[in-house]
Amino acid sequence: MTTTSQPPARAGRRAPRAVTLAAWAVPVMVLGQFALLAGVPVAIALAGALRRTRDRAVRRAAALVAVAYAIPLAVWLARPDGAPSLSKDIHPAFVGLIVTASAVLVVAAHRPGPRHLPAR
């Protein structure tokens, strides 16, 4: 008798793969001078974390990434004398904040699951 089984899901995964990949893509895109396009993985990370994750740490980290990205975006859109691209106008402190927030999201998504103590 042959049985087919699905490979087990990764035990330590707290967030969907799309959220994790988006969390890695955000700092790469911001540091690579594609800050405006980084809005796409920010939206994917936020939507995926809020809709598909129960872990509050992942949700909060995704919200932190979204807020850290939204502030310089709003400033760039509101300034009439701003640079022609978000990458040229963004302050280096916000780049550091976005990269740090993305790192927090990656760590939160890769944390091992809760460990239950044996009953006595």
Q: How many CB atoms lie within 10 A of CB 75?
A: 15
Q: What is the pLDDT of residue 115?
A: 55
Q: What is the pLDDT along the chain (120 residues), one digit of tens a residue?
A: 555 554 444 455 667 889 999 999 999 999 999 999 999 999 999 999 999 888 889 999 999 999 999 999 999 999 888 788 999 999 999 999 999 999 999 999 888 765 545 666
CA distance 68 to 54: 22
* Residue 33 Ramachandran class (φ > 0 left, ψ -120 to 50 alpha, else beta): left
Cβ partners under 8 Å of residue 30, min gap 6: 38, 87, 90, 95, 98, 99
Name the amino acid, one letter, at 33.
Answer: Q
What are the extents of the domains in the chain?
17-92
CA–CA–CA angle 102, 84, 34 (5° rounding): 30
Q: What is the pLDDT of residue 65?
A: 96
